Structure 1
Amino acid sequence: MTYISSILGSFLKLIYDMLVSVLPSEPESVSFYALAIIIATIIIKAAVLPVNLHMIKSQKKMAELQPEIEKLKKKYKNDPQTMAVKQQQLFKDANYNALSGCLPMIIQMVVLIAFYRVFLSPEIYAFTDKVAFEAMNKNFFHMDSLSNVDTTLILPVLAAFTTFLTSYITTKNPATQATQNAQTKSMTTSMMIVMPVLIFWMSRNFQSALTLYWTVSNTFTVIQQFITNKMIAKEVAEELQQ
Structure 2
Amino acid sequence: MSTISRVLGMFLKFIYDLLAKTFPSEPESISFFALSIIISTIIIKLVVLPINFSMVKNQKKMAELQPEIEKLQKKYKNDPQTLAAKQQKLYKEANYNILAGCLPMIIQMVVLIAFYRVFWEPSKYAFTDKAFFESINKNFFYIDSLEKVDKTMILAGIAALTTFLTSFLSMQTQPAQNEQSKSMMRSMMIIMPLFIFWMGRNFQSGLLLYWVVGNIFTVIQQMITNAMVSKSVSEEVK
TM-score normalised per structure 2: 0.87
Please list the CA deviations of residues 18-73 of structure 1 after superposition, one character each: whole Å capped at 9, or x if unmatched.
0000012101101000000000000011111231233244345436xx2x532453
CA shift for structure 1 position 185: 1.7
TM-score scaled by length of structure 1:
0.86
User: Gaps spanning 5+ residues in structure 2: where?
Assistant: none
User: What residue number does 1:51 align with?
Assistant: 51
2:227 matched residue in structure 1? 230
Q: Which runs of 5+ in 1 are unaligned?
A: none
Question: Where in structure 2 are the equivalents of 1:110-125 lying within 5 Å?
Answer: 110-125=110-125
Asked whether the 8 Å contact 1:59–1:232 carries over to 2, the reply is no
CA separation of 1:184 and 1:119: change in aligned 2, threshold 3 A: same
Aligned pairs for 1:1-242 within 5 A: 1-59=1-59, 61-62=61-62, 66=64, 69-73=66-70, 89-93=85-89, 94-95=91-92, 96-173=96-173, 176-178=174-176, 180-235=177-232
Q: More deviation in 203-212 or 46-55?
A: 46-55
Contact 2:72 2:83 in 1 (8 A): no
How many percent identity over aligned positions? 59
Tell me, in whole angstroms, the C-alpha distance in 2 between the residues paired with 1:73 and 1:57: 20
| Segment drifting more, 199-208 vs 224-233 | 224-233
- Decide whether the 8 Å contact of 1:140 with 1:146 is kept in 2: yes
Separation of aligned partners in 1, 2:80 and 2:104: 25
Instruction: Give the Cα separation in 2 of the matches to 1:90 and 1:23.
Output: 61
Q: How far apart, CA to CA, are the structure 2 residues paired with 1:85 and 1:142?
A: 62
Tell me by how many angstroms 1:2 deviates.
0.3
Provide the rounded CA distance (Å) in 2 between the counterparts of 1:82 and 1:157. 51
In structure 1, C-alpha distance between the alignment counterparts of 2:80 and 2:41, rounded to whole Å: 40
**CA distance 1:238–1:138, change in 2 (3 Å):** same
Contact 1:72 1:86 in 2 (8 A): no
Query: In the TM superposition, what is the alpha-carbon distance from 1:214 to its structure 2 partner?
Result: 0.5
Q: Return closer, same or farther for 1:132/1:191 CA change in 2, 3 Å cut-off.
A: same
AA at the equivalent of 2:226: N
What RMSD, in angstroms, separates the aligned Cα atoms of the two structures? 2.6
The separation in 1 between residues aligned to 2:80 and 2:142, in whole angstroms, is 52
Equivalent AA in structure 2 for residue 168 of structure 1: F
Give how far 1:236 is off: 5.8
CA–CA separation in structure 2 for the residues paired with 1:233 and 1:84: 31
Task: Tell me how far apart the structure 1 counterparts of residues 79 and 200 of structure 2 sit (CA, whole Å).
Answer: 43
Alignment-mate amino acid for residue 183 of structure 1:
Q
1:73–1:83 contact (8 Å) kept in structure 2: no
Where 1:28 maps in the other structure, the secondary structure is coil
